[in-house]
Amino acid sequence: MTALNDPDLIKALAAWVGQLKSPYHEDKQVNKYPVKLMSSSPNAWLEIKQIDQGMMEITCIHRVMEQDEHSDLEGIRKECSQFNALMERVRLPAYMWEDSHKAEFQLRWQETLVTQADLKYVQRFFEQSLYLANALQSRLGWALNSQPQPLSH
């Protein structure tokens, strides 16, 4: 199963928090670029970005399906739209995103953390988003059985 490597996660978060607290960095410089942390799979990663004073945005990203010339884009977009509507109804912070630059569909799980003390929950958010990505891949594989199979994690 795909996972974030705990020592790497701790080092990345510590380095990021260290930059935020450093008197040698301007606040605007650190805020420009999110920290990107890869998992053990090339199809899943995590981005952390400071959005306001002390608040952070955590985004877990999973590649679900690549686009190619044989893709039924309308069918995939319809499934994504249904998924996004369901996530709104159940109030989960997840949505399907079509990244046209990379020609792929991604599941994104986005959380806002109020304090840096909440960073301990990052691993849990990633695991939950991974379970949802796997369930969505199964659903897409079943619903779009004439398509190339979704990417595995």
Tens-place pLDDT, residues 59-82: 999 999 888 777 788 888 999 999
Distance CA 87, CA 129 (A): 12
Mean of per-residue pLDDT scores for the chain: 81
pTM here is 0.78
The DSSP code sequence of 64-85 is: EEE--TT--HHHHHHHHHHHHH
Asked whether residue 1 carries a pLDDT value surpassing 50, the answer given is no
> Coil, strand, or helix at residue 107?
strand
Which top CATH class is 6-143?
A: alpha beta
In the chain, where are the structural domains located? 6-143
Tens-place pLDDT, residues 90-145: 999 999 999 989 989 999 999 998 887 787 888 899 999 999 999 998 888 887 77
